[in-house]
Amino acid sequence: MYLLGSFSTLFINSANKNLPDNLWRFHVLVAAFLSSQTKDEVTAACMNRLIKNGLSPEFINKQSFESLRDMLYGVGFYNTKAKNLKEISRIIIENYSGKVPDKYEQLVMLPGIGPKMANLILQIGFGIVVGISVDTHMHRIFNRIGWVKTKNPVETSKEMEKMLPRVYWDEINKVFVGYGQTICKPINPKECTIRDYCSHGRKGRKKVTTKELKYEE
């Protein structure tokens, strides 16, 4: 089952990892691509539907726009995603011999693939960590606890990369995305153990630094 709130854990533990590397990496790309502005359960259903139909660059490329759009129905901006996913598949087939590119600069040139997605694809699909993948949840949390003062996830990513030791770049996304979905929500966040350090906490306004938190290897 595809649950994007735990994106990396999903793919590491998924039986689909037994697929050939090239195909599995394409599944990683598609799941990351579809997850934007889409609930986890909707992404899960769409991914499972695509896989049952033989998800691959060639499969997507040969579908009509209307057919692919119907398969993606329910995910956020499914019309635009159907168009972009067909183009992504075509580019992968024609320019990269059917393989997902393993360079950040190449990934962000694909339609609909931004910095966060590119980082995730490299991290999960190739084990390559070139940056911190910051989504809206992480952006919100880091601003609330005072680690950064940024306007968007891209700015947050750049600031966190300056602040956080590179050894933790791989882990931080796994920890904070789920935390933002379940505890530190946009509206009326639940009580949490570091509320004393948070601008939304009930007590105090103490700023916490990365050095104050204990990391577990």
What is the C-alpha separation between 142 and 43, in angstroms, rounded?
26
Residue 21: other Cβ atoms inside 10 A: 12
For residue 131 the two structure tokens come to 């940056």
What is the C-alpha separation between 151 and 134, in angstroms, rounded?
12
Please pick, among 17, 62, 116, 174, the residue that the annotation labels catalytic: 116
| Whether 116 is catalytic | yes
Cβ atoms 65, 82 nearer than 8 A: yes
Cβ atoms 140, 134 nearer than 8 A: no
What is the C-alpha separation between 60 and 93, in angstroms, rounded?
11
3-state SS, one letter per residue, for 160-181:
HHHHCCHHHHHHHHHHHHHHHH
List, by residue number, the catalytic residues.
Answer: 116
